[in-house]
């Protein structure tokens, strides 16, 4: 069986990314920088061939996907399962504000407690299960094909951890820049990273995610 090749792109920069503000599942549009990054992604991928394009349904991701889809002449299938983790009580706050206002909850977040759900959000364990089930379903649906996916930093982190055999609780030692290109090859029981955090097409690339 041939591996499914997947190119995953984190959405372009938003004003909230630049501020270190937690977006989660709130619908924040791309900034001017992010829109330029989306065009750069489209140019970088123009010579490649894909069998399908998928995107989170949140606006910052759709806006990142649209130039590439137009350049490739392909439709985009929206999938809510590719959304970012729901950060509950942290959403709208900067990480600094979250630490100051909710120190106990922030400590559980930083400790990567798999059951902590921001009181009204999504646990790390639940988020990982949802995101990885979505990507696994795409691998099965497009066995042996090449997929282009647009998603969020959190989803990319879960994919990398799955492919690299990392636990949810281990520190993050890899980059997840806005509008970076990340590539894996996947069989139903085996994923591997072939390239990660490619940013040669960008003038600047921000990784605002906590470690």
Catalytic residues: 11, 84
Backbone angles phi, psi at 147, to 5 degrees: -115, 145
Nearest-angstrom CA–CA distance, 60 and 151: 9
Tokens representing 111?
């400790």
Nearest-angstrom CA–CA distance, 63 and 29: 8
Cβ density class 54-88: b for 16+ within 10 Å, e for less: bbbebebbbbbbbbbbebbeeebeebebbbbbbbb
Q: What angle do CA 207, 4, 131 make, to 5 degrees?
A: 45
One DSSP character per residue, 77-106 reads: EE-GGGSPP--GGGTTSBHHHHHHH-HHHH
């Amino acid at each position: 069986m041939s591996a499914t090749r997947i190119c995953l792109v984190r959405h372009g920069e938003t004003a909230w990314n630049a501020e270190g503000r937690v977006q989660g599942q709130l619908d924040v549009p791309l900034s001017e920088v992010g829109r330029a990054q989306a065009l750069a992604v489209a140019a970088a991928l123009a010579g490649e061939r894909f069998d399908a394009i998928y995107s989170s349904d949140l606006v910052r991701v759709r806006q990142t996907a649209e130039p590439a889809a137009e350049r490739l002449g392909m439709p985009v299938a929206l999938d809510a399962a590719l959304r970012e983790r729901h950060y509950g009580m942290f959403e709208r706050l900067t990480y600094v504000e979250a630490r100051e206002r909710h120190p106990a909850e922030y400590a559980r977040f930083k400790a990567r407690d798999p059951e902590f759900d921001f009181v009204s959000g999504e646990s790390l364990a639940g988020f990982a299960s949802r995101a990885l089930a979505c990507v696994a379903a795409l691998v099965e649906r497009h066995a042996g094909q090449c997929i282009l996916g647009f998603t969020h930093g959190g989803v990319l982190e879960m994919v990398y951890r799955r492919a690299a055999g990392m636990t949810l609780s281990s520190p993050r030692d890899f980059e997840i820049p806005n509008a970076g290109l990340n590539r894996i090859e996947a069989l139903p029981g085996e994923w591997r990273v072939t390239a990660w955090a490619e940013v040669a097409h960008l003038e600047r690339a921000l990784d605002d995610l906590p470690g």
